Structure 1
């Protein structure tokens, strides 16, 4: 888990919906916070199942200064589901457990899976180069960059342009469009950061290029390939990508908020098209749990290629493989991925043998900040035992 242009026509109409609320008023914005904790164990011995007490404690008191809502699903040896907080701070409506949300960089797990499927089909070689698959994309300043180096963040590509260095900076531009091709062009213009394969640096740019590669190899859109290859076969009916610059989350969802100068600002409606294959996914905790379990069982990526998702590159300090990150918690090895977009913090994680799985979506009030406090509160308890 990672522990850290033209305006759209409907911008004016959506801007009218701006909501701000002093942080001190969050707890008073509703009369009865929604909290539901349930545990189902696969054994009469509850000590083998999730630590329900710790997980319920994580949800206690929502909404608060850190989050307005949270949804947690724990599986493996025993299962546990919990939801707490409010759907909307202005109405106090209880949070929805089936809510759709922006999953941020969890998108990279989908992108890596698509590339590895194509590798299994012989349509992409992991040691093949960007220069081969996307001729003309990179300048002559770049040494050959392999597909594998994109997957594990060792390509040496610099970060591309954005519409703001922070949520607050980006907020006035939230309905503008910065296309993936524009993002890549600005990255290429900076030249290489270092020789490919010598260092690892996490960045969206690697997966933006992989999205372009998927489209070039398949002759199809990235979103459609994700749908027909992953979402539909796994029954992920509530998972999709926005249609181009569409800033809305369609279907049931809990609204997202971010702190601006001591107040909460509604940041739910946002054009995320620049994140695309690196961070544009919309999903639910149930769907992501389905993806996580199927992936680890070798039902998404064939097992010969799946090993790429659990193999770190031989560079100093490497933590990331293809799409997944490795960490150790309470003496356990865990593989997973976090994601964050304004108002939404997401994580998927599991032990390699699936004895414990975790998916959460937290409407964090500082989702793009240091993700460790959110992970410690809502994620770490899942691996207590």
Structure 2
């Protein structure tokens, strides 16, 4: 990996962006309206960071704690859920660029004895592009799917290997090679492959390869028994039996699939570095579209956005950008009802406002 060349490329891109005209201005009124009126029936608090060639905007709304009424802080830490997969994919693609990982090799070559017979031909690349056909995260991690079950079991923890074995008790979702949304077990296996190749913990690889070089001081993979968030943070809640239950503290057992913690500023810096080519060699940069874990969406005006989203009981978050990184948004919501990042109307308002021109 030629770090000096990628750093030089990143510096050149940054200089080019700085040299260009600011372009369409931010619609700050729309941004303020996007999170107005919080807390409401669905969201207790919101944090939004918009950045790019037109300038920066920070917005907070609602409360960080429903008991004390403490305000949301712009430097809050939060769980990033499925955005973790993007970090996992980047590390594995880096190993591919170093000729230490082969996307065409069966996973069983790296993890013998873990995958059962129907999954012997699943390749490392299929873990990244969502075509493995492997079952999703197993029922022990979500029980009956109710808020009551999660509240009672939120400190339960399972090792990555146990998660895989429990998942493989279920029938595979489709024949390997087909296309379906990414599931957590694929990312869990990718994390285990990373550890087998490097002989080092997944958390250390993320730290040494991504967070430390980029100066992401608020981003990390928690230890298996660390149920806390570093202050400041906004509490997350779920509705149970007619009241709100605080579920901020919880097990990070989803690990390489969804266990990481970050901040809005860190996520913005990470996405810019990734899209600028500072984290991957050119060949692996090309694989971002198919194997990188990036989501892509198109705005009503035809502009494309790339990035990642995450969610879990009580929260939704995301980081999105135009491909040239001239406009970006990172957000975190404490949600009472929404379990998916696309289910909250507040998320749609934030994204619409962030990429609207004033």
State if a TM-score over 0.5 links the two structures. Answer: yes
DSSP-derived class of the 2:317 partner:
strand
| CA 382–370 in structure 1, closer or farther in 2 if over 3 Å, else same | closer
Shift in Å at residue 303 of structure 1? 2.6
Q: C-alpha deviations, 1:65-105, integer Å up to 9, x for none?
A: 22111111112222221112212111111111101001111
Distance 2:83 2:178 in 1: 25
Q: Provide the rounded CA distance (Å) in 2 between the counterparts of 1:298 and 1:304.
A: 10
Contact map agreement 1:158 1:190 (CA 8 A) in 2: yes
Tell me how far apart the structure 1 counterparts of residues 229 and 62 of structure 2 sit (CA, whole Å).
19
Q: 2:25 aligns with which of 33, 43, 49?
A: 49
- Give the alignment of 1:153-172 within 5 angstroms: 153-161=130-138, 162-164=141-143, 165-172=145-152
Name the structure 2 match of 1:325. Answer: 295
Alignment partner, residue 377 of structure 1:
349
User: Structure 1 residues 370, 131: CA separation in 2 closer, same or farther (over 3 Å shift)?
Assistant: same
Q: Secondary structure at the match of 2:119?
A: coil
Correspondences of 1:288-327 after superposition (within 5 Å): 288-311=267-290, 321-327=291-297
Match among 91, 97, 102 for residue 120 of structure 1: 97
SS at match of 1:296: helix
- Tell whether 2:55 aligns with 1:83: no
What value does the CA root-mean-square deviation take over the aligned residues?
2.1
* Rounded Cα–Cα distance in structure 2 between residues aligned with 1:203 and 1:290: 25
Query: How many corresponding residue pairs?
Result: 335
How far has the Cα of 1:322 moved from its partner?
A: 2.5
Instruction: Describe the SS at the equivalent of 2:195.
Output: helix
The 8 Å contact of residues 142 and 191 in structure 1, kept in 2 or not, is answered as no
Which digits, 9 at most, give the CA deviation of each residue in 1:269-328, with x for residues without a partner? 11121x1000001110011111011010011122310222213xxxxxxxxx53111111
Gaps of 5+ in 1: 1-41, 312-320
CA distance in 2, matches of 1:349, 1:59: 17
Matches within 5 A, 1:174-253: 174-253=154-233
TM-score (norm 2): 0.88
CA contact (8 A) 1:152 1:200 kept: no
Q: CA deviation at 1:46?
A: 8.3
The Cα of 1:191 is off from its aligned counterpart by: 4.6
Counterparts of 2:35 and 2:199 in 1: how far apart (Å)? 45
Tell me the residue number matched to 1:96.
73
Q: CA deviation at 1:44?
A: 12
Cα 1:192/1:369, change in 2 over 3 Å: closer
Q: After the TM superposition, list the runs of 4 or more consecutive aligned residues in structure 1 that deviate by more than 4 angstroms.
A: 42-47
Distance in 2, matches of 1:121 and 1:309, equals 16
Task: For residue 107 of structure 1, give the secondary structure of its aligned residue in structure 2.
Answer: helix
Point out where structure 2 has 5 or more consecutive residues left out of the alignment: 1-17
Q: Name whichever structure is richer in helix by fraction.
A: 2
Structure-1-length-normalised TM-score: 0.82
